[in-house]
Structure 1
């Protein structure tokens, strides 16, 4: 009877690896939990990240809850102005008169006096870069046949056409009004519509300053130039809303629209936008289960069994007018 020969070293290693694979296959490990810091109180915060190419929602919290848009309102004022440009109703050289009502709007503004005018091209830059309230109201009055109220009704009707079900406009600039409401989801719809409908005008949203009457006017959107791939679009703030932003990211074959509303400061809002972009571009986004830590609060609790974790979108959630993926 011959003595059994020891297994070669290679065979021993293969056997050991096979054993480890079997053991690992019998263990179900939950994906690691991460903490997402939210720079806002829960009653003000809302956010959404959308793949602008497919309409698929990658992240959302309170995305359909009503919030105050503040100067994000001017995105719709600009949408209506771009429509007027494309239809030939106005040109970039058309002069917009500034009424007493428009000139009386509180800052931020360019400080026009009654009877002065501004050309359409400068008006676009003033709304995008400076978020000028006097210019937005002047444009609204011009396009509304002399009535800002009429223009606000036109804005709301356009919002319904675009699928913005939670939005109502009462003015053209976003200054405080209890009836002027929107949602993070609606702002994402509007951001995508601006890019898809007016690609020839979207370059305005990437501008951080412009020259007007011989002086340099600087803007508020510090996300421009901060992260490679960010190409717009608009910020907003009133006390009731907190710090809002809609951001477009377009690089390396990925196109995202990020909306954050209700932040306690512009810096914290911008940090949060950057964190959401990084999270959405990561390979493990679908498996991540972020625990939300609101400003001044302990981390939010985990989701109940069978329900999505906080901050995770439903798998088939998509925006109107774009295919689900």
Structure 2
């Protein structure tokens, strides 16, 4: 009942606010029939952020299914992978991680270092792997997606759409029913640490079984969610959320409204069958066979608006461009609002942070304040981040608690520096702007 009330409150807002939030897009598809239940900016190009790792994981699943690798195969960590910024596991160059733990690290921590290591192992280089990912996207009918890296960190040439992310979410479920359960992982043990998921939708709505969150500043807060309940099933996408909380609220509202409208029928595959990604290195090909025909388009079954979609895909394959007519959405879009770093970090467990996070990074950090008020510490991070973006713009903002004579204090820190020199250089840059700070090893 509480969930229904919360969703009703979110859905009660005024419609037509998308123009005020240029990053916003949403899409809901009936996973049994392929019918589009809701679309707002569904075909507009957006930055995927760590939704990228859905495709990275798809490629891992494919390699596992071919027999080329197994869950116990060790993935080497290169110097490039180890140097990726947070969020990451923090393995050192020269070490390795099992495929099993790598997948868990991708779907829970959204580990950038592991994504790069996967790309290097499967593609020979991350650049080659990105080409493989893009080719695979075309196979699956993701005709408006282009990958340039395996992790989703900022790249102006890496883009997708809400529709394409929904197709990928359905493809992961359909093509890898055994491995798909990885996306419902809420936590796992890695060494002495327990790593928990960023995806709060898993525990928020009954029937949710995955899939992935994502965030960079250019994209806002993204999430793809799969839900199956009482014979009905949908995959939904929200992109460009102003915060983790507003994103999850809107996703909850969409699921509340459209899952009851989904069909209990159907259930056959909606996405084109798998084939070896064109351009895959011979060493990666394993037991796959190269396709002898053109890359297939999605094989949607007939349904409301689906014939139009299939015709549009076919015309695009023939070099034409047709924009399918989508149903007029009845669900409101989120209202644009000024979200501070404090609002973001209140939902830190549900986001996939790149530059703003409460997830404690490794290495070195720069501390700029300490306060008995968490809000004051968060405000300090926001203020300094805006005042000195050249010094700390690429760092991870976070707070850390400590107790002093029975009082809890919040340290405001910028982390993710790989060395003492990097941290001190950042601190010296802050001091030139008359901002007190000091470097500390985490």
Question: Under a length normalisation based on structure 2, what TM-score does the superposition of the two structures give?
Answer: 0.57
**What secondary structure sits across from 1:130 in the alignment?**
coil
Change (3 A) 1:107 1:288: closer
Measured in 2, the distance between the counterparts of 1:93 and 1:267 equals: 36
Partner of 2:238: 260
**What secondary structure sits across from 2:167 in the alignment?**
helix
Describe the superposition over 1:94-142 as per-residue Cα deviations: whole angstroms up to 9, x where unpaired: 1000001000100000111110000000000000011000001000000
Measured in 1, the distance between the counterparts of 2:85 and 2:99 equals: 21
- How far 1:278 sits from its partner (Å)? 1.0
Which residues of 2 match residues 208-227 of structure 1 at below 5 A? 208-227=186-205
Partner of 2:79: 100
> How many residues are paired up?
264
Measured in 2, the distance between the counterparts of 1:91 and 1:76 equals: 18
- How far 1:67 sits from its partner (Å)? 0.2
Q: Which runs of 5+ in 2 are unaligned?
A: 1-11, 263-326, 339-442
Q: Is the 8 A contact 2:242 2:337 kept in 1?
A: no
Partner of 2:267: none
Aligned counterpart for 2:248 among listed residues 266, 270, 274: 270
Partner of 1:160: 138
1:192 partnered with 2:170: yes
**What secondary structure sits across from 1:65 in the alignment?**
coil
Measured in 2, the distance between the counterparts of 1:230 and 1:292 equals: 21
Partner of 1:201: 179
- How far 1:171 sits from its partner (Å)? 0.3
Q: Is the 8 A contact 1:169 1:180 kept in 2?
A: yes
Aligned counterpart for 2:57 among listed residues 60, 78, 82: 78
Change (3 A) 1:111 1:296: closer
**What secondary structure sits across from 1:152 in the alignment?**
helix
Q: Which runs of 5+ in 1 are unaligned?
A: 1-32, 298-325
Partner of 1:130: 109
Change (3 A) 1:230 1:95: same
Partner of 1:231: 209
Measured in 2, the distance between the counterparts of 1:247 and 1:113 equals: 32
Change (3 A) 1:51 1:126: same
Measured in 1, the distance between the counterparts of 2:227 and 2:73 equals: 32
Describe the superposition over 1:24-82 as per-residue Cα deviations: whole angstroms up to 9, x where unpaired: xxxxxxxxx98459699431000000000111000000000000000000000000000
Measured in 2, the distance between the counterparts of 1:179 and 1:243 equals: 19
Aligned counterpart for 1:65 among listed residues 44, 58, 63: 44
Partner of 1:150: 128
**What secondary structure sits across from 2:44 in the alignment?**
coil
Q: Is the 8 A contact 1:39 1:263 kept in 2?
A: no
Change (3 A) 1:54 1:94: same
Q: Is the 8 A contact 1:106 1:133 kept in 2?
A: yes
Measured in 2, the distance between the counterparts of 1:109 and 1:74 equals: 13
Describe the superposition over 1:81-100 as per-residue Cα deviations: whole angstroms up to 9, x where unpaired: 00000000101111000001
- How far 1:225 sits from its partner (Å)? 1.2
Partner of 2:148: 170
State the structure with more CA Rg.
Answer: 1
